[in-house]
Amino acid sequence: MTTPTVNIVGASEILMVHPQTVRDLINAGKLPAAKVGSAYVLLTKHVLDYAEKVIMTQTADRIRAPRKPRSPKRIGKVGAPQVGVAH
């Protein structure tokens, strides 16, 4: 069962990022949080909503992005012919 709230470490585990990244998201206003005493408290729902938003945005960007042309496959090395030198 998922708890209704998480701390910074719990949010970082959900998002699979470093706890400092969660702090940065909070300070940038991208992830809602409240400071209760000396610790931040986040609603698990908000952390999951943020993850869903990022996933959907990045997926849409990948779909819209033009694909890079594939480079032709190499058939083999082409080099100077080997010439034997008589001594």
- What CATH number does residue 58 fall under? 1.10.1660
pLDDT at residue 80, rounded to an integer: 60
Q: Is there a domain that residue 84 lies in?
A: no
Q: Is there a domain that residue 38 lies in?
A: yes
Q: Is there a domain that residue 29 lies in?
A: yes
pTM for this prediction:
0.72
- The number of folded domains in the chain is 1
Q: Is there a domain that residue 44 lies in?
A: yes
Average pLDDT over residues 72-83: 64
Q: Give the tens place of pLDDT for each residue, 25-73.
A: 999 999 999 999 999 999 999 999 999 999 999 999 999 988 877 777 7
Torsion of CA 19, 25, 26, 30, to 10 degrees: -150
Q: Is there a domain that residue 76 lies in?
A: no
Q: Give CA–CA dist 70/72, Å, rounded.
A: 6
Phi and psi, residue 32, nearest 5°: -70, 140
Q: Which domain holds residue 9?
A: 5-64
